[in-house]
């Protein structure tokens, strides 16, 4: 099958690689530099499994039928299936996802290949797919939410917890076929590795319910992060042992010991925008919890900043802008808002961030990638995730809430 994937972020690229094991995949991006690198099997994002697959492809040890292009017309025209995985950033001023890139992909497809099935994988507002079907007068658009972690996206596509596809009653066969394509991609690696098949549940849902599943799932994760962060805020304020409390709470099997590591707040590409979008979808619906989780994240970051400023540092060092270990992405990372609060109180900040150029500035804060100088010049080092190999020798300077030393 000829499949076109619009977008080469972590969602689009992981899907393109997954499907290129068995099918002819064309990925669309907007920059020639990314095209050149991807066509040499060099990943533009940090993802261990994608990088392993690409290395094996370069060495001739793995076949990936993947081509990347900026030629939208050719890519959409030849497709037997179009997957739309373009970014949908949240607009805080207007309180909605910016879906313009999704609609650009739909319009190009309708212009050159109007009857092909389109599957939206981008995160979108509840009710969006039905609205664009009505807007363009078509019914060949369905939706499938992604449940992927940044830097582990291909792993999650190879080992999915579930596959969900949303459609109307006339498209159940097409929705099932798409679900089986994703399943086939996971099975391909199992066959290669000689491992037992996974039990991967498939849910064919209604369009709008599938959109709601995505936003409610991510908001639940944000609730859980906020809960343990507020537990930690209480424990710090009262001089209690946070880890002991969390260990005791999580011994209850109904609660469990996952997603319980305190942080500076939830951040990254998905949770901040998805919680805000769900709150916007509640415009005419009674609620308190959805609003509270969004507000809780703001309060947590302010609390962390206050904790740092109470130490009266002359210079605050920030160790990595990324949200997670082994990640190269710091979009909407919680630590950036903590930095803003500290800087607004006149305290200088220096940043250790190897993905940025040494001596450059990040929102007015100097990047110092000479590790010894960074450590020496920082009175307090702020680390959302603690790296013992790097920071172990200055642990007394480090402020972190990374109690369990895991993502």
Q: What is the mean pLDDT of the chain?
A: 94
What b/e readout covers 369-397, taking b as 16+ CB neighbours within 10 angstroms? beeeebbeebebbbbbbbeeeebeebeeb
Coil, strand, or helix at residue 209? helix
Flag whether pLDDT at 177 surpasses 90.
yes
Q: Give a yes or no: residue 320 inside a domain.
A: yes
The predicted model gives 152-156 an average pLDDT of 95
Threshold 0.85, pTM exceeds: yes
DSSP assigned state of 347? -
Q: Is the pLDDT of residue 136 over 80?
A: yes
Residue 325 clears pLDDT 60, i.e. is over it: no
Quick: pLDDT tens for 114-123: 999 999 999 9
Same structural domain for residues 290 and 228?
yes
Average pLDDT for residues 100-119, to the nearest whole number?
98
270, 185: one domain: no
Q: Which helix (H) or strand (E) holds 142?
A: strand 141-143
Say yes or no: 194 and 224 in one domain.
no
Predicted confidence at residue 26, as pLDDT, reads 98
Asked whether residue 178 carries a pLDDT value surpassing 80, the answer given is yes
Q: Which of 142, 173, 200 is the last residue of a domain?
A: 200
Most distant pair of Cα atoms in the chain: their distance? 65
Catalytic residue among 270, 334, 338, 347: 270
Cα dist from 97 to 101, 112, 165, 287, whole Å = 11, 26, 20, 21
Q: Tell me which residue has tokens 């020798």.
A: 393
**pLDDT band for position 407 (50/70/90)?**
low
Residue 161 domain flag: yes
Which range, of 7-11, 143-147, 269-273, averages the lowest pLDDT? 269-273
In this prediction, residue 352 carries a pLDDT of 97
- In a domain, residue 235? The reply is yes
**Amino acid 54: pLDDT:** 98
Domain of residue 385, CATH code: 3.40.50.720
Considering the domain architecture, whether residues 54 and 105 belong to the same structural domain is answered as yes
Quick check: is 207 in a domain?
no
Per-residue pLDDT tens over the stretch 253-265: 999 999 999 999 9
Question: Does pLDDT of 329 surpass 80?
Answer: no
pLDDT over 90 (residue 270):
no
Q: Does residue 250 sit in helix, strand or coil? A: helix
pLDDT at site 328: 54
Residues 174 and 226 in one domain: no
- Give yes or no for residue 402 having a pLDDT over 70: yes
User: Of 117 and 385, which is predicted with more confidence?
Assistant: 117
The DSSP bridge pattern shows strands 90-91 and 96-97 to be antiparallel
Residues 394 and 258 in one domain: yes
Q: Where are the beta strands (DSSP E) in 200-285?
A: 202-206
Q: According to the model, what pLDDT value does residue 330 have?
A: 74
Distance between CA atoms of residues 164 and 176, nearest Å? 10
* Long-range Cβ pairs for the range 103-109 (8 Å, 24+): 103/132, 105/6, 105/7, 105/28, 105/76, 106/132, 106/136, 106/141, 107/136, 108/72, 108/73, 108/76, 109/76, 109/79, 109/82
What pLDDT does 224 receive? 97
In sequence order, what DSSP letters do the residues of 226-240 get, joined into one string?
HHHHHHHHHHHHHT-
Last residue of a domain, one of 132, 165, 200: 200
Tell me: do 124 and 262 sit in the same domain: no
Q: What local confidence, expressed as pLDDT, does residue 269 receive? A: 77
Question: Catalytic residue at 270?
Answer: yes
Select from 159, 177, 200 the last residue of a domain. 200
Alpha carbons 13 and 23: distance in angstroms, whole number: 14
The domain total for the chain is 2
Task: State the pLDDT at residue 11.
Answer: 95
The answer to whether 403 touches 241, Cβ cutoff 8 Å, is no
Q: For residue 3, what are its two tokens?
A: 């499949």
226 and 339 together in one domain:
yes
Residue 103 falls inside a structural domain: yes
> How many CB atoms neighbour CB 62 within 10 A?
16
What is the pLDDT at residue 390? 95
Residue 240 lies in a domain: yes
Query: 380-382 and 398-399 as β-strands: parallel, antiparallel, unpaired?
Result: parallel
Q: What's the rounded mean pLDDT across residues 119-141?
A: 96
78 closest CA partner among 112, 38, 128: 112
User: Which residue, 343, 303, 126, is CA-closest to 216?
Assistant: 126
**What residue has token string 């920082």?**
378
What percent of the chain stands above pLDDT 70? 98
Lookup: tokens for 363: 């929102």
- Give the torsion sign (CA, 52, 2, 44, 69): positive
Q: In whole angstroms, give the CA distance from residue 50 to residue 66.
A: 13
112/79 same-domain check: yes
Residue 247 is predicted with a pLDDT of: 97
Q: What is the pLDDT of residue 179?
A: 98
Residue 274 included in any domain: yes
Q: Comparing 145-159, 219-233, 321-335, 369-383, which segment has the lowest mean pLDDT?
A: 321-335
- Are residue 29 and residue 164 in the same domain, yes or no? yes
Q: Residue 343's domain spans which residues? A: 215-399
pLDDT at residue 142 in the model: 98
Band of pLDDT at residue 93, cut at 50, 70 and 90 = confident
Is residue 407 one of the residues assigned to a domain? Answer: no
pLDDT of 327 reads 55
Please report the pLDDT score of residue 324 as a whole number.
Answer: 62
Label the pairing between strands 361-362 and 365-367. antiparallel
One domain for residues 261 and 319: yes
DSSP secondary structure code for residue 171 in this structure = G
Q: What is the mean pLDDT of residues 45-71?
A: 96
Are both 159 and 264 inside the same structural domain? Answer: no
Q: Quickly tell me which residue has 């919890």 as its tokens.
A: 289
- pLDDT, residue 406, reads 64
State the pLDDT confidence band at 268, using cuts at 50, 70 and 90.
confident
């Amino acid at each position: 099958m000829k499949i076109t994937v619009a977008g080469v972020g972590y969602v689009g690229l992981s899907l393109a690689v997954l499907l290129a094991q068995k099918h002819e995949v064309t990925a669309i991006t907007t920059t020639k530099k990314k095209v050149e690198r991807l066509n040499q099997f060099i990943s533009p994002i940090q993802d261990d499994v994608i990088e392993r697959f690409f290395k094996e492809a370069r060495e001739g040890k793995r076949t990936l039928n993947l081509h990347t292009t900026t030629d939208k017309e050719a890519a959409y025209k030849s497709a037997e299936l179009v997957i739309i995985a373009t970014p949908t950033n949240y607009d805080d001023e207007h309180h909605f996802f910016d879906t313009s890139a999704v609609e650009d992909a739909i319009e190009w497809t309708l212009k050159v290949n109007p009857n092909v099935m389109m599957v939206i994988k981008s995160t979108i507002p509840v009710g969006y797919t039905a609205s664009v079907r009505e807007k363009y007068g078509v019914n060949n658009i369905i939706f499938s939410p992604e449940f992927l972690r940044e830097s582990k996206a291909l792993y999650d596509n190879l080992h999915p917890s579930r596959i969900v596809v949303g459609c109307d009653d006339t498209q159940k066969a097409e929705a099932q076929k798409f679900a089986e394509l994703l399943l086939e991609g996971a099975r391909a690696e199992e066959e290669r590795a000689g491992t037992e098949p996974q039990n991967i549940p498939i849910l064919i849902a209604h369009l709008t319910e599938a959109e709601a599943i995505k936003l409610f799932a991510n908001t639940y994760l944000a609730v859980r992060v906020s809960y343990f962060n507020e537990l930690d805020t209480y424990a710090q304020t009262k001089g209690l042992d946070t880890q002991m409390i969390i260990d005791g709470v999580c011994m209850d099997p109904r609660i469990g010991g996952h997603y319980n590591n305190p942080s500076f707040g939830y951040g990254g590409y998905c949770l901040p925008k998805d919680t805000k979008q769900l709150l916007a979808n509640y415009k005419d619906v009674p609620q308190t919890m959805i609003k509270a989780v969004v507000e809780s994240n703001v309060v947590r970051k302010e609390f962390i900043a206050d904790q740092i400023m109470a130490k009266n540092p002359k210079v605050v060092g920030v160790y990595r802008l990324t949200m997670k270990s082994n990640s190269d992405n710091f979009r909407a990372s919680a630590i950036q808002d903590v930095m803003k609060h500290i800087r607004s109180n006149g305290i200088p900040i220096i940043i250790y961030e190897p993905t940025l150029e040494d001596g450059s500035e990040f929102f007015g804060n100097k990047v110092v990638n000479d590790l010894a100088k960074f450590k020496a010049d920082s009175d307090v080092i702020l680390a959302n995730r603690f790296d013992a190999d790097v920071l172990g020798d200055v642990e007394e300077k480090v402020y972190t809430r990374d109690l369990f030393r895991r993502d």
